[in-house]
Amino acid sequence: MSYLVCVLLFGLMVGSVGVASNPSPYFAAMGLVMVSGVGCGVLICFGGSFLPLVFFLIYLGGMMVVFAFSAALSAEPYPYGWGNRSVKMYVAAYVLGVGCAWKVLLGKWSGFWGGILDESGELLVLRGDMMGVAAMHDVGGWMLVLGGLGLLLTLFVVLELVRGVSRGGLRTV
Amino acid sequence: MTPIQMTFSTMFLLGLMGLTFHRTHLLSALLCLETLMLSLFLATSLWALQLSTINIACVPMLLLAFSACEASSGLALVVATAGTHGSDHMQNLNLLQC
C-alpha cells in the first residue's frame, strides 16, 4: 500500500514538471488533468472520500473543462510538446533540481511516514472529511455566505473585463 | 522531511518557477498558477486527513471556491488579450516597455 502511495507521489512530480516546463497549453492542461487525478488517488489512500470527489467534480469537471476550451485561444499550427528542444531543456532542469532537492532533503526522513491506515478501525459511512465539510455548512455558515458573495462578485468582474465598447475592460475594440 | 510534505512543497515550487520563467503563452502561466492551487489543496486536505483535525476539511473547499474566482478572472484576461492583440503571446503585452 505504501508502494502505491510512492507511485502516486512520483506521478504528481512527473505531472508538475510537465506543467511547469511550459509547453503549449494543450499539453500543459493534459499534465494538469493527470496531476489532479493522481492527487485524488493520494487523498483516497489517506482515507479521504468526499474531498477527492469534490476535487474531481469541481476542479476537473468544472475548471479544467473551461481551461481546455480556452486553450483554443492559444491555437498555433505547430504546438510545442515536451519533445521540443526548448521545452526539453526546462524539463531537464526541473528534473535535475527536483532530484537534487530530494537527494539532499530526503536522505533520511523522520519516522512518521504518515498513516496509510484509517484511524477509526471500523467501517463507517460518514467519514472524517465529510464531517468537516458538514461543519462548514453548520458552524461556518457565514463563511459560505462570504464565499458565495465573492463568487457573485467575480461573475461581474469577469463580465466587465471582457466587455468592450468604451466602458468595459477593452478600450480599443 | 516526509515524502508527502516533500511532494507538495516541490509541486508548489515547481509551479512557482513555471510561473516565473514563463515562455510564450499567458494561458500556460495560468496553468502553472493552477498547479500552485492544486498543491495547496493537497496540502490542506492531507492536513485534515492525517492529523484527524476534521474541522480543517472546510479549508480546501473554500480554497477551491476562491481559486475558481481567480482562474475565471485570469481566463477573462486571456480572452481580453486575445481580443485586443489577436493572440495571448506574452511578448505582445509591451505597452509599458520603454
Provide, as residue numbers in chain B, all residues whose Cβ is less than 8 Å from the Cβ of A43: 42, 45-46, 49
Number of domains in chain B: 1
Most confidently modeled range among A74-78, A125-129, A159-163 = A159-163
% chain A with pLDDT above 90 = 41
Residue A45 forms part of a structural domain: yes
Q: Does B88 sit within 8 Å of A135, measured CB to CB?
A: no
The answer to whether residue B77 neighbours chain A at the CB level (below 8 Å) is yes
At which residue does the C-alpha cell 502561466 appear?
B29
How high is the pLDDT of residue A167? 64
| Mean model confidence pLDDT for chain A | 84
pTM score, whole prediction? 0.89
A89 pLDDT above the threshold of 80: yes
Domain that holds residue A32: 2-123
Q: What is the pLDDT of residues B2-26, one digit of tens each?
A: 788 889 999 999 999 999 998 888 9
Rg (chain A; Cα; Å): 21
Domain that holds residue B41: 26-81
Residue A47 forms part of a structural domain: yes
Residue A26 forms part of a structural domain: yes
Those of residues 3-42 in B touching chain A at CB distance below 8 A are 3-4, 6-8, 10-11, 14-15, 17-18, 21-32, 34-35, 38-39, 41-42
Residue B54's pLDDT band, with cuts at 50, 70 and 90, is confident
Residue B37 forms part of a structural domain: yes
By three-state DSSP, how is residue A124 classified?
coil
At which residue does the C-alpha cell 481580443 appear?
B83
Residue A66 forms part of a structural domain: yes
CA distance B6 to A52: 20
Q: What does B13-54 look like in DSSP terms, one character per residue?
A: HHHHHHHHT--SBHHHHHHHHHHHHHHHHHHHHHHHHHS--G
How high is the pLDDT of residue B81? 86
Interface mutation vs chain B, best among A2, A16, A89, most B CBs within 10 Å: A16
CA distances from A59 to A66, A77, A162, B64 (A): 10, 29, 23, 8
Residue A154 forms part of a structural domain: no
A169 pLDDT above the threshold of 80: no
Q: Which residues contact B40 (CB under 8 A, 6 or more apart)?
A: B12, B63
A110 pLDDT above the threshold of 60: no
Q: Which of B29, B46, B80 has its CB closest to that of A169?
A: B80
Residue A113's pLDDT band, with cuts at 50, 70 and 90, is low
Where residue A111 sits, what CATH number does that domain have? Answer: 1.20.120.1200
A56 pLDDT above the threshold of 80: yes
A132 pLDDT above the threshold of 90: no
Nearest to A87 by CA among A20, A14, A161: A20
Residue A163's pLDDT band, with cuts at 50, 70 and 90, is confident
Nearest to B55 by CA among A43, A137, A16, A113: A137
Provide, as residue numbers in chain A, all residues whose Cβ is less than 8 Å from the Cβ of B30: 67
Q: What is the mean pLDDT of residues A25-42?
A: 93
ipTM of the complex: 0.89
CA distance A34 to A14: 9
Of A89-103, A109-123, B29-43, give the lowest mean pLDDT range: A109-123
The answer to whether residues A17 and A91 touch, using CB atoms and an 8 Å cutoff, is yes
Residue B86 forms part of a structural domain: no
Residue B31 forms part of a structural domain: yes
Strand (E) or helix (H) holding A40:
helix A25-45
Residue B14 forms part of a structural domain: no
